Amino acid sequence: MATHMIPPPGAPEFLASAGWSEAQILPLAGDASFRRYFRVVDGERRAVLMDAPPPHEDPRPFVAIGEWLCDHGFAAPDILARDLEQGLVLLEDFGDARVREHLDEAPAEELAVYRRAIDLLVDLHKLPAAELPPMIAPSISAKRAC
């Protein structure tokens, strides 16, 4: 396993405190940030461990948006446990199903899938914006070449 995909040092203790002490921690694909994701497997139970390490990341906006979505009738992963000081959040695992692979297997459903996505965006647009602190981009010390 690549060094960057080794679970954070506090993960085993965090998982144990959440009732997942016997779980395996397996790497998942990351995103375009400092966040890293791991699948946590304990027998038939599965969850996702998000590592949002301070000071580079703050999981509070992620948690707030998830709660806001649920409060407004949308689906977001349940938060099973959190340690915001360490930047660790244990999330419900929605599985591996992704739109692209689904449509590859069921191309006749493409229009219905995209209509549903558009309907969700319209429903979101009808709601007041979530109250979150402004996101501040890190300062850039080097000048960009034009």
Residues 37 and 91 reside in one and the same domain:
yes
Burial class (CB in 10 A: 0-12, 13-18, 19+), 25: middle
The answer to whether residue 144 sits within a structural domain is no
Residues 102 and 44 reside in one and the same domain:
no
The answer to whether residue 4 sits within a structural domain is no
pLDDT at 135 (0 to 100): 61
47 DSSP 8-state letter = E
Which regions in the chain score pLDDT beneath 50?
Answer: 1-3, 138-146
Range of the domain at 68: 10-95
The answer to whether residue 80 sits within a structural domain is yes
Q: In CATH, what number is assigned to the domain containing residue 30? A: 3.30.200.20
Tell me the per-residue pLDDT of 77-89, one tens digit each, with 9 for 90 and over: 999 999 999 999 9
